[in-house]
């Protein structure tokens, strides 16, 4: 069975939203750093889920929001003092640091926008799945109709 790429991208975003919600909101015994962190988790999961469902339905707002979410996932960074990254659903990442390069693949519902360290040293993450999804969404976006009478 073959699915159109928009449905796969949308399903991946919904999956990522569910993973974030499960990891940060519904895992018993896990204590989050703050209420703000919990609210950010809920906002990120909601945006991702809404974008994914809207994309699956063919809604233009879903395409625009998905394009933004994919762009945010392309590059991330972490160090001992901060973390800035977003990974939704299936991921294939290359992680570059002074120690070398590693690759990771799997499933993630991960976001980090906080001044808490996420790595032992400065590490930059490149998400290949997000790059492919972003390029696809960008290249297949509907083009505006030309204005009649414009030169």
State pLDDT tens for residues 55-75. 999 988 999 999 999 999 899
Please report, rounded to a whole number, the percentage of residues in the chain having pLDDT higher than 90: 32
């001992």: which residue's tokens? 80
Rounded Cα gap, residues 73 and 59, in angstroms:
21
| Burial classification of residue 33, based on how many CB atoms lie within 10 Å of its CB (0-12 exposed, 13-18 middle, 19 or more buried) | exposed
Pairwise pLDDT comparison (100 vs 115), residue with the higher score: 100
Mean predicted confidence (pLDDT) in 72-91: 84
C-beta of residue 13 within 8 angstroms of C-beta of residue 48: yes
């Amino acid at each position: 069975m073959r699915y159109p790429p928009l449905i796969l991208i949308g399903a991946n975003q919904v999956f990522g939203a569910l993973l974030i919600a499960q990891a940060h909101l519904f895992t018993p015994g896990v204590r989050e750093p703050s209420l703000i962190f919990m609210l950010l988790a809920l906002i990120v999961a909601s945006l991702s889920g809404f974008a994914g469902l809207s994309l699956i339905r063919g809604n233009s707002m879903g395409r625009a929001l998905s394009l933004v979410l994919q762009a945010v996932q392309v590059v991330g960074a972490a160090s001992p003092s901060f973390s800035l990254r977003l990974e939704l659903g299936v991921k294939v990442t290359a992680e570059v640091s002074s120690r070398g390069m590693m690759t990771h693949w799997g499933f993630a519902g991960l976001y980090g926008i906080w001044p808490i360290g996420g790595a032992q040293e400065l590490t930059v993450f490149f998400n290949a799945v997000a790059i492919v999804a972003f390029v696809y969404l960008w290249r297949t976006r509907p083009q505006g109709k030309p204005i009649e009478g414009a030169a």
